[in-house]
Chains A and B, each alone.
Chain A
Amino acid sequence: MSSPEVALQSLDTLWFQVGGTVCNLACTHCFVSCSPTNHTHEMLALAEVRRYLDEAARLGVREYYFTGGEPFLNPEMETILAATLEVGPATVLTNGLLLDPGRCARLKALADASDYSLDFRVSLDGWDATSNDPIRGEGTFERILAGIRNLHAAGLNPVITVTEVCEGTAGDAGKERFFTLLRSLGIERPRLKILPVFRIGAEAERGGAYESWQRLREGEAPDGGWDHLQCSSCRMVTDQGVWVCPILVNEPEAKMGETLADTLGDFPLEHPACWTCHVYGVSCRT
């Protein structure tokens, strides 16, 4: 049976793989398999980002997200954020390891200087070193917490992003453990986002790959069609062109073109990761 297709309703959210696939960590569940040595996608330069920002503004894009790899490995990251905040709100997904007090103060100044929101998501995969470090790397729990503390001290309140690799996270009790941890850091208004795992990249090795039945099929569309999927309103820019979404950047068939204008058409929901987005109601947006 053939796969359904999703139409782009409106290009609201534009992602930038600003750190490429280069990361200072090599998390065992990373669906993009980012690592210090993964150069599948290189970092984006300010000039490239500006070119897409110009096109995005003409198309009426509403918000911008930055991910990697680790975005703050990109030496132009703060300038890129300043350029972005001239045209719209921005969110950075980071592992928190490069958030020293000086950088956090500069980021707060950027946030204060803009009409638009600047938000941060810091990834954490456990409520202590025992649960987090086997996933994200030895010693990372304390270093991530230091980054979160620095953001908080600068007056920035990040969303903590946790995947369901951390057992029990999805339930209310699991969420409360994270809220308790964040409150213990002095964060009075903790923010939390839970994401399921995508069984691709490094996660396919760690937790197992998709099974053959985990696919979307023609005729299975819910009443509202496929508009609930983030690919109905987003695209992802890498150094090699424009991809359908932030999940499938390692899939050559998910590249849709070189410019945003190339990518405004339908996309076939053939990949098993599309099944996860549908079944779990995933959005990579905050």
Chain B
Amino acid sequence: MGAFGPNPEKVRPLLAQGQVLAIQGNYEESLAAGREDCNCGYTDPRDNHFAEISYRYTERNCSPEFKAWMGTLPQRRRVRVGEHELLLVHGSPRRINEFLFHSTSPVPFLEVLLDQNRCDALLATHTGLHWHRRLPSGRDVINVGVIGRPANDGQTHVWYSMIEAREEGLGVELVPLAYDHLGLAAEMRSEGLPEEFVETVLTGWWTTCLEILPARERAASRF
């Protein structure tokens, strides 16, 4: 609900109006607990520098009530879609800040992870990069993408996922979403957020937090 973008409090009424079921991510967990950092899992000093700026901004711009509400959110939800049991988590079922990238989440690992968590599909996010892998067992793992930052592909749109029960199985659609990114960039500048973040919104290329990208995802990156 916070991090990269401006004015996180604007999210709150939207979630309430839409009766959106939310789960806790590492930001929500850290803000609710009053932690000093976002627990994003970076080690590079430059990444941590910018991670600290965005965390401090979000921390300052969320009310105590909003933070307390974040603390009430579960870290996982199970949702039934048709015959399919979906497990929703932020990072992974094991750790709230574990990165599940496409190129470093191999099939055998995912099969065991779904066995251990007894679900037909696992939905995660945290990395900022969307992907879908249908496993040999017929189960699905979906990194659902993020709507707060473009996917480091030179495109300004963001991504979400549509999951539905279909006769032939679980329907998974990764959906690009265009939005007023110029307006967002202006709002970020007026809030004093770093120009590096603004550049990402305007170009679709990440400029920070690149260290955690695996070799393949980094090779596809501009920076």
Report A89-137 residues with CB < 8 Å from chain B CB: 89, 91, 111, 115-120
Chain B residues whose CB sits within 8 angstroms of the CB of A61 once the complex forms: 108-109
Task: A199 to B104: give the CA distance in the assembly, Å.
Answer: 32
Stretch from A22-30, A39-47, A52-60, A259-267 forming part of the interface with B: A52-60
Chain A residues whose CB sits within 8 angstroms of the CB of B101 once the complex forms: 117
- Least distance between B24 CB and chain A CB atoms (Å): 19
- Least distance between A280 CB and chain B CB atoms (Å): 12
Residue of A nearest to B108 (CB): A57
Let me know if A88 and B215 touch, CB within 8 A: no
Task: A168 to B210: give the CA distance in the assembly, Å.
Answer: 24
B87-130: contact bitstring with A at CB < 8 Å (1 yes, 0 no)?
Answer: 00000001000000111111111011100000000000000000
Task: A11 to B108: give the CA distance in the assembly, Å.
Answer: 12
**A155: interface (CB < 8 Å):** yes
Let me know if B216 and A111 touch, CB within 8 A: yes
Task: A117 to B221: give the CA distance in the assembly, Å.
Answer: 14
Contact of A58 (CB < 8 Å), options: B108, B215, B217: B108
Once A10-B94, A61-B109 are accepted as A-B contacts, the answer to whether A172 and B104 lie under 8 Å apart by CB is no
Chain B residues whose CB sits within 8 angstroms of the CB of A115 once the complex forms: 102-103, 106
**A271: interface (CB < 8 Å):** no
Let me know if B104 and A189 touch, CB within 8 A: no
The SS class assigned to the B binding surface is helix
Task: A155 to B218: give the CA distance in the assembly, Å.
Answer: 12
A192-213: contact bitstring with B at CB < 8 Å (1 yes, 0 no)?
Answer: 0000000000000000000000
Report A171-191 residues with CB < 8 Å from chain B CB: 172, 175, 188-189, 191
Let me know if B104 and A59 touch, CB within 8 A: no
Contact of B215 (CB < 8 Å), options: A62, A118, A175: A118
Let me know if A89 and B103 touch, CB within 8 A: yes
- Least distance between A161 CB and chain B CB atoms (Å): 14
Once A60-B112, A61-B108, A87-B108 are accepted as A-B contacts, the answer to whether A117 and B223 lie under 8 Å apart by CB is no
Let me know if A117 and B216 touch, CB within 8 A: yes
**B14: interface (CB < 8 Å):** no
**B11: interface (CB < 8 Å):** no
Let me know if B106 and A89 touch, CB within 8 A: yes
Task: A188 to B223: give the CA distance in the assembly, Å.
Answer: 8
Task: A175 to B45: give the CA distance in the assembly, Å.
Answer: 10
Residue of B nearest to A194 (CB): B43
**B219: interface (CB < 8 Å):** yes
**B214: interface (CB < 8 Å):** yes
Q: Which range holds the interface residue count of chain A?
A: 20 to 34
Chain A residues whose CB sits within 8 angstroms of the CB of B112 once the complex forms: 59-60
Let me know if B104 and A62 touch, CB within 8 A: yes
**A230: interface (CB < 8 Å):** no
Once A10-B94, A189-B221 are accepted as A-B contacts, the answer to whether A117 and B215 lie under 8 Å apart by CB is yes
Let me know if B94 and A117 touch, CB within 8 A: no
Task: A91 to B216: give the CA distance in the assembly, Å.
Answer: 12
Report A156-170 residues with CB < 8 Å from chain B CB: 156-157
**A63: interface (CB < 8 Å):** yes
Task: A89 to B99: give the CA distance in the assembly, Å.
Answer: 14
Once A60-B113, A155-B219, A189-B221 are accepted as A-B contacts, the answer to whether A119 and B214 lie under 8 Å apart by CB is yes
- Least distance between A173 CB and chain B CB atoms (Å): 12
Let me know if B216 and A87 touch, CB within 8 A: no
Let me know if B218 and A87 touch, CB within 8 A: no
Q: Which of B94, B215, B218, B223 has the largest number of chain A CB atoms within 10 A?
A: B215
Task: A229 to B215: give the CA distance in the assembly, Å.
Answer: 23
Residue of A nearest to B216 (CB): A117
Let me know if B108 and A88 touch, CB within 8 A: yes
- Least distance between B46 CB and chain A CB atoms (Å): 9
Chain B residues whose CB sits within 8 angstroms of the CB of A188 once the complex forms: 223
B180-223: contact bitstring with A at CB < 8 Å (1 yes, 0 no)?
Answer: 00000000000000000000000000000011001111110101
Residue of A nearest to B102 (CB): A115
Let me know if A87 and B106 touch, CB within 8 A: yes
- Least distance between A271 CB and chain B CB atoms (Å): 24
- Least distance between B100 CB and chain A CB atoms (Å): 10
Let me know if B106 and A116 touch, CB within 8 A: yes
Q: Which of A12, A57, A116, A188 has the largest number of chain B CB atoms within 10 A?
A: A116
Task: A63 to B214: give the CA distance in the assembly, Å.
Answer: 11
Let me know if A60 and B104 touch, CB within 8 A: no
Once A60-B111, A60-B112, A119-B214 are accepted as A-B contacts, the answer to whether A157 and B219 lie under 8 Å apart by CB is yes
Chain A residues whose CB sits within 8 angstroms of the CB of B217 once the complex forms: 117
What is B's interface to A at a CB cutoff of 8 Å?
45, 94, 101-109, 111-113, 210-211, 214-219, 221, 223
Q: What are 11 A-B contacts with C-beta separation under 8 Å?
A: A10-B94, A56-B108, A61-B108, A62-B104, A62-B105, A89-B106, A91-B215, A117-B104, A117-B214, A120-B215, A157-B215
